[in-house]
Amino acid sequence: MTIEFHQKPGLVVYLTIGDPDLATSKQIALAAIDAGADVLELGVPFSDPLADGPVIQRASERAVRNGTRLDDVLALARALRTERPRVGLVIFSYLNPILRMGLEKFAAAAEQAGVDAVLVTDLIVEESEQYRAVLHRHHLQPIFLAAPTSPDNRLARIAEVSEGFIYAISRVGITGTQQEVAGDARDLVARLRRYTQLPIALGFGISNAAHVAAVAEFADAAVIGSAIVALIERSTPQQAPSAVGEFIAALRAPVPSESAVS
């Protein structure tokens, strides 16, 4: 499949799979899709998630304690592909779990599960040639992160080898919510536009309808992660699917203008 964004902006939703448990993760994922998520990033829990803020770190720790493994994430992807065929499915992982499974074995299993793309958060584009070759043999799209601090020649390289979409980081640092979309984000997206026709999804800190509306002005999609993971953390397993569905549906709600609320 090819990843598609069915609305403007598209919504990419990150979930830490196995938090609070695998059965609930499936119900949350289905609720997210039904509420309007175009793409799901299925987060593989890892014991040392250095790029993540405290919210996703805690979720990853809970999922690891539950015994959630990469095999479990791929099994969930297979179920979601069967039940919601149109959704984009991205395996979001650190490199270590993939190497533990074996890159070739992982790519074959991901292809069989119906996964569209893979994003390895700690694999830099300059060291990705073998990884990309294996993914391509199994019809998987590599997605890479682009940061505001990246020089233009690196953005050009990221754009050259990325498929599906490019994940633009709105700010440097770890994941987590913020009050407003970082000012560097618009400039980063404009710089990337020089090198690619791919959709550009903006993430890190997107957490409400105002953020999504702001992103829609210059990017193709918004990535929502920490805000949803925090909502799951605050909810019981029974409450979490409906809470996530309502939250995602509200992200597309009209944002009142300043004059209307003054």
For range 42-57, the mean pLDDT: 87
253 phi and psi, to 5 degrees? -70, 145
Indicate whether 260 pLDDT > 50: no
Cα–Cα separations (whole angstroms), residue 220 to 189, 201, 202, 253: 10, 6, 8, 17
Q: Which of 19, 38, 52, 116 is catalytic?
A: 52
Mean pLDDT check: name the lowest of 90-99, 106-115, 200-209, 238-247.
200-209
Strand-pairing partners, residue 143, are 119
Output the pLDDT for position 248.
Answer: 96
Is 21 in the active site?
no
Annotation marks residue 41 as catalytic: yes
pLDDT over 90, % of the chain: 82
Cα–Cα distance, 22 to 63 (Å, whole number): 9
The pTM for the full model equals: 0.92
pLDDT of residue 245: 98
pLDDT bucket at 243, cuts 50 / 70 / 90: very high
Distance separating alpha carbons of residues 169 and 83, to the nearest angstrom: 31
- Give 144-197 pLDDT, tens digit per residue: 999 999 999 999 999 999 999 999 997 543 344 444 455 688 999 999 999 999
Q: CA–CA separation, 52 vs 32, rounded Å?
A: 21
| 262 pLDDT more than 60 | no
What is the share, in percent, of the chain residues with pLDDT greater than 70?
92
181-187: Cβ within 8 A, 24+ apart: 181/205, 181/206, 181/211, 181/214, 181/215, 182/148, 184/148, 185/148, 185/215, 185/218, 185/219, 186/217, 186/218, 187/148
**pLDDT tens digits for range 112-138:** 999 999 999 999 999 999 999 999 999
User: What average pLDDT does the chain have?
Assistant: 91
pLDDT tens digits, one per residue of 33-43: 999 999 999 99
Cis peptide leading into residue 20 (ω within 30°): yes
pLDDT of residue 178: 47
The bridge status of strand 141-143 relative to strand 145-146 is: unpaired
- Give all strands of the β-sheet with 141-143 in edge-to-edge order: 141-143, 117-120, 88-93, 39-43, 10-16, 221-224, 200-203, 166-169, 145-146
Q: Which residue has the higher pLDDT, 75 or 204?
A: 75
The domains found in the chain, sorted by start residue, are 10-252 (3.20.20.70)
Task: Kindly indicate the confidence band of residue 96, based on its pLDDT and cuts at 50, 70 and 90.
Answer: very high
Categorize the per-residue pLDDT at 31 as very low, low, confident or very high, splitting at 50, 70 and 90.
Answer: very high
Query: What does the block give as tokens for 29?
Result: 């994922």
**Which one from 19, 21, 38, 41 is the annotated catalytic residue?**
41
Residue 261: predicted pLDDT: 41
- pLDDT at position 7, please? 86
Q: Is the pLDDT of residue 53 over 60?
A: yes
Average pLDDT rounded to a whole number, residues 194-203: 96
